[in-house]
Each structure stands twice: as C-alpha cells, then as structure tokens.
Structure 1
Amino acid sequence: MDSGPVRVMASAGALLLTLTLTGAGGDVPDPTGPPWPSRGLFTTHASGTPVGTERRCTVSEILEPSCGVWWGGSPHENRLEELEHNAGRRMDIVYTWRGIDQAKIPGDRERRILAEGRFVHTNIEARRFTRPGHPAVSYRAILRGEFDSVLRDQARGVAELEAPYFLTFDHEADANKRYNKRGTPQEFTRAWRHIVDIYRDEGADNAIWVWNVTGWEGNLGRLPGLWPGNDHVDWISWEAYNMTGCDLMPNWKHVDSFEDALRPAYEWIQNEGPRHGIDPTKPVMIGEMGTTDIGPRETMRWYTDVPRVLREYERIRAVKVWDSKVSSGCDFRIGANRYARQGFEAAGRDPYVNLPDRVRRLAEHAHRD
C-alpha cells in the first residue's frame, strides 16, 4: 500500500519543521488583532501541556500539526468577519466554493484571506459556476479534457502563491444527491486523479488534496469505490452533523453528539480502510460540523464538547464549522443562536484548537524552502 504525501517537494522526504514550545505566561492573542505573522506566540501549549513544560511541536509539508487542531469554518454568505466576531477569534482555515469552469482559482477573495494570515480550503465543484443555476458537469467531460485549459490556469494560480493551499474536488461524492449522478464512482476517481496530475504538471506542489465524503454510516460501503488512491490524497475528510428538527431530514428524530457524528467514519477508516487500500495514518479533517437548535444547554454543550472529543481521536488535525442556513428549518449559523454562539466561542478558546503563531509560520516556510 502506497502512502505518505502526494507531492514531491524540492527537499528530500517529508519536511518536518520543529518548534520547542516553552511557557512564558500570557493570554490568547486578540482575534481582532493583525494577521498572525506579526502577532506574538500563544504561550499556553497547544496540547494543553502546563505552562513551563517543553513540548516539541511539528508541522509537516501537508500542514499536519502534531500539537493540536486547526480551527476553521465556512462563513454564511462569505461573511468571514461576522463568523469571526461570533466565534471570538480568527479562523485558521476558511472554506470557499468554486466551479470547475472558473479559471481564476484562487480568486481575489481567497488571495485576501491568505494575505491576512489564514489558510484556504477550496472545494472545486463539478459544476459550471459561470452559468446561471450552476449546472452539473459530468466526470466524462472532465476526462475528455474539456476543462484542461481552465484547470491548468487554476493550477498555475495556486502554484504562484508559494503558500500551502487545501483543495477538494467535488465534495460528498458519496451523498445520495451526487452518487452515480455525475458519473460512476470509477469515473469520479479517474477525474480526481486527472485533476491532481494536471496541478502537478503545472508545478502546484503547494496544493494539499483533501478527499471529502459525508461520513454518514449508511454511506460507508460506497467509500472504497470512491477512493482515488493514497498517492493522490493528502487528507481524509468527512462531516459531523446533528440535524434534529431539520425540515430537510424529517426522519431525524434523535440527537447525535459531535462524537456520535464523527465516530462511524473514523472507526471505518481505521479498521476497514487498509483492506481497501486506504492509509489510516493520513490526517483527518472534519470538513463541516454543526448542530441545529436542540435546546439552550444542549446546544451549548454540543459545541463546548468538541475540543475534548478531538483530543480522543488523534488522527483529526483540522475541523471547520458549517456556518450556514440550509433552509428555514435547518439553520447552522453560529450567530443565529445565542447558545450555539456561546458554545462555539468557548470551544474556540481551548488550547488544543489554538495552535501557536510560530507553528503557522513554520507551515508557511515548509512550502518556501
């Protein structure tokens, strides 16, 4: 079974930059302050290690930290400032959405987010975002090369950043609304590899490929056929939702905790993944997470419990909240629920999801050396 980073960097082997963290007292940096390259070191250890205790923290060339978890989100209607205000802190990773027909990736918005010191994760949909209604694109069209010139423009745009950039092709390919709709699972994996190979050909070594699925227990049997291969995937990602009362999910009568939601896919990857050629040591990103309103105390606790759960699932190294309203009865916006906002803000203060600024700098330099 092949494994490890999918890109061949200029340096030999996987680059690991190391930081020795030592406590010096102090507080969490002000989330309204300047971008992280000019801010001070967060002096509480990201692992929760007591101040004054040394701990070596590493970050790999694919941005996998050894000392905690990146904290991010997908802002409602691209309102990043509003999300960060409600979260009481800056996001480490911001999720953006583009179509496969858009040559300008990263766009102005992504470049601004990067310039302000955050990472970007862009999902490239198999849809035409340059046309009304964003019609779907078949995987066969991609394999025929109909979008090769656009993809090469994208790849060159990412390559010129000289900064790490998370990318996904057609997220949630296992979902009922996508599975076998835009093409077969085999065509999906071939299209994924085709896109990654184009980016490689154009020198986009800084592209970090995140394979994203729903992670729902009923969809796990679909995952082997959708796996592009260890050499074309850097991170594995799925969602962790509770949708009690969501009008789009009328049969969802129960309540899933954050741990309930992420556990099935995590255990499947660890236990069953190797049989299907999936490397279980790859870092995991919870690509989207959130809960509907399940009551004041319960909603707040759903979010405050997230850092504790993350500590218990060691392969998880990034998590992003889905700060959006899907329908009138299915609202995950942090700012729309007082108790969700308080719980998410409290969770975001936990040291485990507050990686020190120097760790972020090390991540940046990993793609410049």
Structure 2
Amino acid sequence: MAISVLLALGLVGAGDSPGGASVPAESQFPESRPGPNTAPFLGLPPPRETRCTVSDILEPSCGVWWGASPYGGDVESLESAADRNMDIVYTWRGIDQADVPGERERRLVAQGRFVHTNIEARRFTRSGHPAIAYRDILAGRFDSSLRSQARGVAELEVPYFITFDHEADGKNRYNNRGTPEEFVRSWRHIVDLYRAEGADNAIWVWNVTGWPGNVDRLPGLWPGNDYVDWISWEAYNMTGCDKMSNWDHVDSFEDALSPTYDWIQEEGPKHGIDPDKPVMIGEMGTTDIGPGETLKWYADIPDVLRRYERVRAVKLWDSKVSDGCDFRVQANDYARRGFELAGQDPYVHLPDRVRRLAEYAATRDRSRD
C-alpha cells in the first residue's frame, strides 16, 4: 500500500479539538460534513480519552466504520432516516466494465464517503448480467477492462475497498463458476493487474457468506495473506423469509457474527489465514421479528462489536429479496429506529476528523513520492 502513514490524535469525544497530536489544522483537511455529538442524546457518558490511529488499509483503532448497501442506491435517503452519514457505501459492478469507479462511485468519494465495490464475475454490459467462468479471467479475456478499472481507482488517490466475486463459498457460487483453486488464481490475477497499474490505494476485502455450514470451504478459497487486507462475511437473521423455509428460529447479530469470527481466530492460522487482519461485516440485517425485537436486534449491535475487537467495519444490506424477506430499514419503523440508535453510538459514530486522518495520511504519502 502507498498510504503508509499512521496518524494519532487524542479523542475526548466527537466535536472536541485534537489534543497533543501532530496533525494539521482543521482548515487544511478536505471539506467534510461533521456528525452530531450523540452521547447526550442517548444518555451515554462521554467516551474515555483514547489514542486513535487509522492505518494505511483504513483500519481504525478506536471504533468501527458504519456503512450500507442502500436500497435503490439512495444513500441520502438512508442517511436522513438514520440521522447520520454512512462511512462506507457498497456498490456492485461487473468484471467486464471498464468504467470502474463510475460516476456514482466518484460522486460518493467526492462527498466524503469511502466506497467498497464488489467486482462480480459477471458481464454487467449484457442483459441479465450472465456469469462468466474463472478460466476466462485466467485466460486474460478481461485484462483490458480490469486494467482500466485499476487506473480509475489509482486516479482517485484515496483508499478504495474492492472485493472480487463475493460469496464464493455460497451454495449458488461454490464450484459453479470454477473450482476453488481457479477462484484463488483469479483473485491473485486481478490483484496483480491492479498493482501493476499503480492502484496501491486498492484495499482488498475477501468477502464470504460466513454461514457455519460453509466454513469447511473457506481454506480452499483463501487467496493468501499478501492478497487480502480485510476479511469479511455476513451476519443475517432470516426468520420468516420465504426464501429460507427452514429458518424457524431467531439469530441475534452476535449469533450470526460469532461462528465465523471464532473459526478465523481458532482455525484460521492452521490454514494460513492471519487472524489479526481487520474484519468487515460486509452485509447484515434482520427480517421483521416483532416491534421490540426488531428494534433491539439493531440497537444491540454496538455492544456486541465491543466484544469482537477485530471487527472494524459493518455494513447494512438495505434491500428486499421478496415481500416475505425484506431487510429495508425504512420499510419498518422499528428497524429504522434500531438502526438509528445503533448508528449514533460513539463506538460506530467515529468523529469526522478520524476519517480525515486517512485522507491526510494519503496526502502526506503522495507528497513524499
């Protein structure tokens, strides 16, 4: 990574000025919208003074980035409902699309958000987005579009999260577009192309489903520590979902998060997986499980995260599979309120200047090149 500066500052609470740290004045940071001081709103005590750093791969030491894949791509509506900005926005693109990042991703970056793009092994330039075989990637048939993507990411000159073909362990993906070995080789091929084009600001996020029944597939899908910056999986409760007819129970956010977390920590090293890599919950959400229960499912998330220290980013999947499988928080007032309460917790509502540490680090590093 080219963004190699670690910056630190004293955090006494959102809105307080930095103390005792060598950082530039606020006027020297890029323009960005501040978040509210939410501790009094929630009746919480102010956070204790901590020493916060943001690494070259955007890992914060003092809390968790909060983000979403917004319904219909409308991040502004979700932010209004949640009464806060999203730190990260998730987008989906095809491996055949040369214009990545596109207009939408560039606008999100310009407005001060981080972007996480999943590059699917699909032809997004064709109707129906047909899947492609990994062997076609390995044969170099998409090298031209991939090199164009890499140059576009490099030109942004800001950290940019990227995943290749998320959920490769899922039942509809595993051994479908190719073998696990071909997935790994394709992942490395893409990373190598990006690096050759100077996209050192790309942050590589290995995103799997994390379903307990799939963990035995993970070792064969691991691209290697040199090719992965963040480890990511999903945390869902799908009670009543008509696409999951056997789901007759309720999983809390912790129930959904912990099995793969524990597996990575305990079994990962046996398979060459570094358990110290930061974790991103790439997608999360619950179906309607009752007013109080739905609100609590979301509102409990920050306290859960405090117990799982490697988790440093969480993203809501704010979308709808069917009428009986709806994860949109704006479609359920209790889900919206719970998501709002969770998002105001200081642990996931990092002061705006923490984000600017990463921006300043990138600026400092570029000035030294």
* TM-score strictly above 0.5: yes
Q: Name the counterpart of 1:63.
A: 58
Deviation of 1:87 (Å): 1.3
Q: Name the counterpart of 1:84.
A: 79
Is the contact made by 2:32 and 2:112 (CA closer than 8 Å) also made in structure 1?
A: no
Give 1:208-357 correspondences, 5 Å limit. 208-357=203-352
Q: Name the counterpart of 1:19.
A: 9
Is the contact made by 1:88 and 1:345 (CA closer than 8 Å) also made in structure 2?
A: yes
Partner secondary structure for residue 317 of structure 1: strand
Distance of 1:24 and 1:131 partners within structure 2: 46
Deviation of 1:20 (Å): 1.4
Distance of 2:359 and 2:60 partners within structure 1: 12
Which of 150, 159, 167 is 1:164 aligned to? 159
Deviation of 1:177 (Å): 0.3
Q: Name the counterpart of 2:132.
A: 137
Deviations 1:182-213 (A, max 9, x none): 00000000000000000000000100000000
Distance of 1:51 and 1:254 partners within structure 2: 37
RMSD after superposition: 1.9
Is the contact made by 1:168 and 1:212 (CA closer than 8 Å) also made in structure 2?
A: yes
Amino acid of the structure 1 residue aligned with 2:97: Q
Deviates more, 1:280-289 or 1:74-83: 74-83
Distance of 1:198 and 1:235 partners within structure 2: 19
Are residue 358 (structure 1) and residue 353 (structure 2) matched?
yes
**Can you give the 5+ residue segments of structure 1 that lack an aligned partner in the other structure?**
1-6, 27-34
Q: Name the counterpart of 2:49.
A: 54
Deviations 1:219-269 (A, max 9, x none): 000000000000000000000000000000000001000000000000000
Are residue 37 (structure 1) and residue 31 (structure 2) matched?
yes
Distance of 1:284 and 1:140 partners within structure 2: 29
Amino acid of the structure 2 residue aligned with 1:281: D
Distance of 2:14 and 2:313 partners within structure 1: 26
Deviates more, 1:59-68 or 1:80-89: 80-89
Percent same amino acid at aligned positions?
A: 74
Alignment: residue pair count: 349
Q: 1:232 to 1:24 in 2, by over 3 A?
A: closer
Q: Name the counterpart of 1:31.
A: none
TM-score, length of structure 2 as denominator length: 0.91
Partner secondary structure for residue 156 of structure 2: coil
Q: Name the counterpart of 1:97.
A: 92
Deviation of 1:84 (Å): 1.2
Deviation of 1:365 (Å): 2.2
Deviation of 1:39 (Å): 4.2
Deviates more, 1:53-62 or 1:107-116: 53-62
TM-score, length of structure 1 as denominator length: 0.91
Is the contact made by 2:6 and 2:53 (CA closer than 8 Å) also made in structure 1?
A: yes
Deviations 1:137-164 (A, max 9, x none): 1100000000001100000000000000
Amino acid of the structure 1 residue aligned with 2:62: C
Deviation of 1:38 (Å): 4.0
Are residue 204 (structure 1) and residue 194 (structure 2) matched?
no
Amino acid of the structure 1 residue aligned with 2:175: N
Are residue 177 (structure 1) and residue 172 (structure 2) matched?
yes
Is the contact made by 1:25 and 1:44 (CA closer than 8 Å) also made in structure 2?
A: no
Partner secondary structure for residue 239 of structure 1: strand
Q: 1:18 to 1:180 in 2, by over 3 A?
A: same
Deviation of 1:23 (Å): 4.6
Is the contact made by 1:44 and 1:50 (CA closer than 8 Å) also made in structure 2?
A: no
Amino acid of the structure 1 residue aligned with 2:316: V
Is the contact made by 1:37 and 1:361 (CA closer than 8 Å) also made in structure 2?
A: no
